Each structure stands twice: as C-alpha cells, then as structure tokens.
Amino acid sequence: MLTTEVENFPGFSSGIMGPDLMSEMRKQTEKFGVEIKIENVTKVDLKGKIKRVWVGEEEYSAKAVVVSTGAKPRMLKVGEEKLLGKGVSTCAVCDAAFFKEKTTFVVGGGDAAMEDALALTKFAKTVTIIHRKDKFRASKIMQKKVLENKKIKVLWESEVVGVKGESKLEMIKTRGVKTKKEEELLAEGLFLAIGHLPATDLFKDQLELDKKGYLVTKMIRKTNDMREEFVNGLPTETSAKGVFGAGDVVDMRYRQAITAAGMGCQAALDAVKFLGGEISGW
C-alpha cells in the first residue's frame, strides 16, 4: 500500500501501482464470497482449540487462524516519527520523485540503503548516506555502484540523533560515533533504511518467536526428517495448533510481495488440511 509502481509482481508486464495491486487482490477475493473487515485487532487468545480474536470489545472465534501481519520499518526514535510523510520516509523507491532538487540523507549500510541512495540520485540535488560504521554491510556490487556514483556522499561513523521541523523536515542533527561531535545539517529529506521489525507484539505470549521477533513455523524448525515433515505435516503451522504464519511476519530473508503471496497460499492450504478439508495433491 506504500509502494508506487510495482514491476516485479507476475502478470503485470507494464507494472502496476501498489494500491491498485491491493485493490485488485481484494476484488478477486470478494468475488469468491470472502468477507473483509478493515479493523485493528487489539487482543488474541490462540492457545485453546477455539481461537479468539478481539477488535476492541467485539470478539471473533475460529478453529484456525492465519497470521500475516507483516513487518514495519525500524525507526530511529529521535522524533522523526512525527515527520513521516513530511520529509521523512522509509521507502526512497516509493517517494524519491517527491524530492526533486532537494537535499536528502539516507540512514543505513545495507543493500536497502544503497538502493534508496541510487534511487534518489535520479531526482534529488544531493544524496548523503549516514552510516554508523566505517564500511557498508551491503553486497559488493551495490557498494561499488554507490561509491562510484559522484552524486552520493558518505558520512562514515556517524548517526542521526535528532530532527527539527514542524510542518516539514528542516534539519537533522548528527553525531560522530567515535568523536561524539554533533552537527546540524539542513535537510529536506531523510530516508530510513535500517531494517524491519516483524509486527508480532500482539503474539509475544501466545506464539513462539525467534530472537528477532519473527514467528517460528514448522518450516523454520529443524527436524530429523525435513522431507517427511514438509510432505505430511503442516509446514506453515506455528507453535499453536491451528495457527499458521505467512509473509514478512515469518520471512526475514526474501521479503518480497510474490514470496509473501506464495506463503499465504501455503498457509491457506495448511489451514484447510488442518480443518479436515480435501486438498488436491495431499
């Protein structure tokens, strides 16, 4: 929903806008009688045979649940949250065109930060990467593209410790990791590319999570016979019987729309099998 043109999802040779792709998916499910409720789940009880989910005071119950809450961008937590959409962004590929001839900064050192910086060079007046260490962790080919691009500058061993601006971003404050020297820099765009956090706060006391907070499924767990477990078991099932996980809430590696959609299909088939339905191929 936060992406502009999507060019890597099958079936759209000319690309499709992110919100349009979501709208088409919704229409397709509604055609088959699926009921969709746009609500925020506030509490869950997934431990019993009957799973319970609350939206405020309203309670829903089911024998099976698929968790696909996704992941959210990691924030710096230095006040930038209030300026999201007002100069602060978590997706340069989505928003770069809005920063034509502006002074921009990218925070991060991985492939995502490299991609953001390269995307901004097509529009922004200046692009500066701010990284806490003295070298990037991005792949060599991405580093090469960035370091050879004359439009991109790098502030090594630095971090953003503050932002200024009311209706829009006006300035950022940086600090040297080793020197502790602070500096205020004029800024019209700040792009955060420091990773994602799985949206699993709701399930901390209900389902097994790994050390990074991602849902653990049977597919993730090591077993004595992975092939047997995959063929005859329910690979997307979590630590709670009848609860399945799919998408970025499970996947810390690929994080693509197509892989999330594929995993959603797997979870749906596993849920049907759990409920005793017939599935072709089982």
- Rounded to whole angstroms, the Cα distance separating 248 from 257 reads 9
Per DSSP, the chain holds a count of helices (H) and strands (E) of: 6, 17
At 93, the amino acid letter reads: V
The answer to whether 237 and 220 have CB atoms below 8 angstroms apart is: no
From 95, 248, 251, 270, active-site residue: 95
- State which H helix or E strand residue 107 sits in: strand 103-107
From 20, 45, 94, 116, active-site residue: 94
Q: Is 116 a catalytic residue?
A: no
The answer to whether 247 and 68 have CB atoms below 8 angstroms apart is: yes
> CA angle 28-29-30, nearest 5°?
95
Q: What is the gyration radius of the CA atoms in the chain, in angstroms?
A: 22
DSSP letter for 12, please.
-
> How many Cα atoms are found within 13 Å in the side-chain-facing hemisphere of 196?
20
Q: Is 265 a catalytic residue?
A: no
DSSP string over 210-267: -TTSPBP-TTTS--S-HHHHHHHS-TTB-SSTTEEE-GGGT-SS---HHHHHHHHHHH
From 91, 116, 251, 270, active-site residue: 91
Task: Quote the distance between the C-alpha of residue 85 and its chain's center.
Answer: 17
Q: Is 91 a catalytic residue?
A: yes
- Rounded to whole angstroms, the Cα distance separating 147 from 164 reads 29
- State which H helix or E strand residue 194 sits in: none
Active-site residues: which are they?
Answer: 91, 94-95
